[in-house]
């Protein structure tokens, strides 16, 4: 078998105390070799084939293929190697070759078995099925899709304590994770937990506090060493935590996990592309009916109007309008500079009253449910018999009164009636994150200039808790949301706004349509394509047609970090406070912890008359 990855050592040799060759299956006899000459076991990669050779001298040896060999420990110093083979004549039955060998001490025995496991891994072919799922032997899936320079900078950044401190001091983030774990002790107590991208190891320590049986903290950056220090400094918890340095696409674990916990969210939820590693960890490590913290992620979107921001960005290009800058005319580059500034998404905290329409959301379910059926405005989720609703704690929604078909595998359904048509949902595979298309449809709540699309995200930790009533254990769901919404306590993620270089003019009640398309690239981020259109308004609008369209292309990797605190925007003189317009967003599960942001408020009499 050809080796897909070269070993650091082309051969390794271990001294043995004795070798005994076992007889083939056709006999029961055995023969012992004389021990007058030293014997060895040597691993080698001759001619691209990994072999283990038991040598008495240069002319007398037993060779086995590492690929098919299996080694069993019979005692502290004694082991046996069995390898299956077959004669060239297919009519003859297969037989096994066996070698019983003994070491001089336990240290040499342990070193040999570790070497055998390493050589065994190195002859794994691409796509071979291992206990934790398929791996790429030559290059991991991560290496195939991410350019090395980006990965180097990424792991260097997260390998520094100052950046870990920045995240730890985001008390909304850290406190929500702590509450989600501690409030759901029943999910963690006595369970095996895998912390994906463990960083400082704080989430692993939370899981241990909740009573986890064992926690495997996987971290690819140099922060793994700091995590070991921190965990060793908390010995009562650290004895149940193992730090593993490596990528989730490459490492192997000795057992399946009951729970995955991670903080894979970046700006706009998907930046840095760690969600893909989170999904890969699910497929490789999570056992049947396992849980994921977080469980669901949602990207929220709404058009906004912010004249101050638009002018600020446009004015940055004024420098290039100089016709005599030290005698040089800069104006030929003004158009390019103007477009460049508008290609940067803006990361900051903004006043939710800048939103000019109810929000919509796009939902990513990180857990593995078999399928989603969508047709003619009807969205139906279902579970197959082997995956119960209780294990996933998930509700499904019927979006309209018509549902043309249902799969045969349906065992149970929960419907929540609604007339809204603005909820998109799918169940996540890694490849689904390579390109994300979100259709947009809004109804303007006020006549204004639309300067772009505002976005933020939240994630759901969907667990369960136990209480005992007359010696009967009862379970109930404990939900905890982590939100980055405008108006909510600010997090280190802030919010994100895509600003159009050409604003749209809309009237109250006018329909706004478009598309948000995000395409992943190898710098661990996304290219964003945004299009917004205002449909015709007034007489003749029933014939349809687009009145105006504006679009932009942005690089999520290179945002404009404005990060100012929300400013107080004075209400226009003709505006009066009135009851909040309810968001079009449909909740996955009802919760009192998450509130929708306010909107720019028009006069109630005008809006109500136009929307009827």
Query: What token pair was written down for 78?
Result: 């004694």
DSSP string computed for 209-235: HTT-SEEEEEE-STHHHHHHHHHHTSH
Helix (H, G, I), strand (E, B), or coil: what is residue 262?
Answer: strand
Rounded to 5 degrees, φ, ψ at 442 are: -130, 160
Please calculate the CA angle 74-76-79 and round it to the nearest 5 degrees: 35
HEC assignment per residue over 37-68: CCEEEEEECHHHECEEEEEEECCEEEEEECCC
3-class state of residue 161 by DSSP? helix
Strand, helix or coil for residue 168 = helix
| CA–CA distance, 266 with 239 (Å, rounded to integer) | 31
527 forms beta bridges with: 519, 555
* Cα–Cα distance measured from residue 206 to residue 530, given in angstroms and rounded to the nearest whole number: 40
Name beta bridge partners: 582.
Answer: none
Contacts of 471 (CB under 8 A, 6+ apart): none
CA atoms within 13 A on the CB side of 469: 4
Active site residue 51: no
Q: Which of 251, 594, 299, 253 is nearest to 424 (CA)?
A: 299
418 DSSP assignment: -
Backbone angles phi, psi at 443, to 5 degrees: -120, 115
Q: Where are the beta strands (DSSP E) in 263-328?
A: 286-293, 296-304
Per annotation, catalytic residue among 51, 122, 219, 272: 272
* Residue 384: Cβ within 10 Å count: 13
Cβ within 8 Å of residue 552, ≥6 positions away: 342, 343, 452, 498, 499, 500, 501, 529, 530
Candidates 263, 430, 542, 598; catalytic one = 263
Task: Taking each helix axis as running N to C, give the angle between helix 202-209 and helix 171-182, from 0 to 180 degrees, rounded to the nearest 10.
Answer: 30
Please state, in angstroms and as integers, the Cα–Cα distance from residue 163 to each residue in 166, 168, 400, 413, 432, following that order. Answer: 5, 9, 47, 44, 29
**Torsional sign, CA 232, 238, 242, 248:** negative
- What tokens appear for 209 in the block? 């506090």
Q: Measured between alpha carbons, how far is 583 from 595 in angstroms, rounded to an integer? A: 10
How far does the chain reach from its first CA to its final CA, in angstroms? 73
- Reading phi first (left if > 0) and then psi (alpha if -120 to 50, else beta), residue 301 is in beta
Contacts of 342 (CB under 8 A, 6+ apart): 313, 499, 500, 501, 552
Give the residue from 401, 323, 363 showing the smallest Cα distance to 588: 363
Residue 598 bears catalytic tag: no
**Tokens in use for 498?**
């895509």
**Helix H or strand E segment including 179:** helix 171-182
Q: Which residues are catalytic?
A: 263, 272
């Amino acid at each position: 078998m050809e080796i897909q990855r070269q070993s650091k050592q082309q051969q390794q040799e271990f001294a043995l105390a004795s070798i005994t060759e076992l007889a083939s299956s056709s006999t029961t006899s055995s023969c012992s070799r004389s021990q007058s000459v030293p014997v060895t076991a040597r691993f080698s990669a001759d001619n691209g084939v990994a072999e283990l050779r038991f040598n008495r001298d240069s002319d007398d040896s037993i060779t086995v293929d590492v690929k098919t060999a299996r080694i069993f420990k019979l005692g502290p110093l004694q082991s046996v190697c069995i390898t299956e083979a077959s004669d060239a004549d297919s009519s003859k039955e297969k037989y096994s070759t066996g070698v019983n060998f003994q070491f001089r001490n336990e240290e040499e025995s342990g070193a040999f078995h570790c070497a055998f496991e390493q050589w065994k891994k190195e002859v794994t072919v691409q796509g071979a099925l291992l206990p934790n799922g398929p791996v790429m032997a030559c290059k991991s899936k991560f290496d195939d899709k991410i350019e090395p320079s980006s990965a180097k900078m990424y792991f260097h950044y997260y390998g520094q304590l100052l950046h870990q401190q920045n995240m730890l001091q985001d008390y909304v983030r850290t406190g929500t994770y702590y509450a989600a774990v501690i409030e759901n002790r029943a999910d963690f107590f006595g369970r095996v937990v895998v912390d994906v991208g463990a960083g400082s190891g704080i989430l692993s320590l939370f899981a241990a506090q909740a009573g986890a049986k064992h926690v495997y903290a996987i971290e690819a950056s140099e922060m793994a060493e700091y995590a070991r220090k921190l965990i060793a400094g908390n010995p009562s918890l650290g004895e149940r935590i193992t730090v593993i340095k490596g990528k989730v696409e490459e490492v192997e674990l000795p057992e399946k996990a009951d729970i995955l916990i991670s903080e894979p969210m970046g700006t706009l939820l998907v930046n840095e592309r760690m969600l893909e590693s989170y999904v890969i960890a699910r497929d490789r490590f999570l056992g049947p009916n396992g849980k994921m913290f977080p469980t669901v992620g949602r990207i929220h979107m709404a058009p906004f109007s912010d004249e101050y921001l638009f002018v600020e960005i446009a004015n940055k290009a004024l420098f290039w309008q100089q016709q005599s800058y030290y005698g040089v005319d800069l104006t030929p580059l003004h158009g390019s500079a103007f477009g460049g500034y508008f290609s940067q998404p803006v990361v900051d905290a903004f006043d939710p009253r800048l939103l000019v329409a109810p929000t919509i959301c796009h939902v990513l379910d990180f857990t593995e449910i078999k399928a989603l059926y969508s047709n003619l405005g009807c969205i139906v989720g279902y579970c197959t018999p082997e995956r119960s609703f209780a294990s996933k704690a998930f509700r499904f929604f019927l979006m309209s009164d018509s549902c043309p078909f249902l799969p045969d595998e349906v065992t149970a359904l929960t419907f929540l009636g609604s007339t809204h048509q603005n909820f998109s949902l799918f169940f996540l595979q890694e490849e689904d994150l390579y390109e994300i298309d979100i259709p947009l449809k809004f109804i303007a709540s006020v006549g204004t200039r639309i300067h772009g699309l505002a976005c933020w995200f939240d994630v759901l930790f969907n667990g369960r808790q136990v209480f005992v009533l007359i010696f009967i254990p009862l379970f109930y769901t404990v939900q905890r949301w982590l939100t980055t919404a405008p108006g909510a306590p600010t997090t280190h993620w802030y919010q994100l706004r895509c600003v159009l270089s050409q604003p749209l003019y809309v009237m109250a009640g006018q329909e706004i349509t478009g598309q948000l398309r995000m395409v992943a690239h190898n710098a661990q981020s996304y290219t964003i394509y945004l299009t917004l259109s205002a449909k015709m308004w007034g007489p003749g609008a029933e014939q349809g047609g687009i009145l105006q369209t504006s679009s932009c292309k942005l690089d999520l990797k290179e945002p404009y970090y404005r990060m100012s605190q929300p400013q107080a925007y004075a209400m226009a003189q003709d505006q009066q406070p009135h009851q909040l317009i309810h968001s079009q967003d449909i909740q996955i599960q009802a919760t009192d912890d998450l509130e929708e942001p306010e909107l720019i408020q028009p006069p109630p009499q005008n809006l109500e008359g136009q929307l009827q």
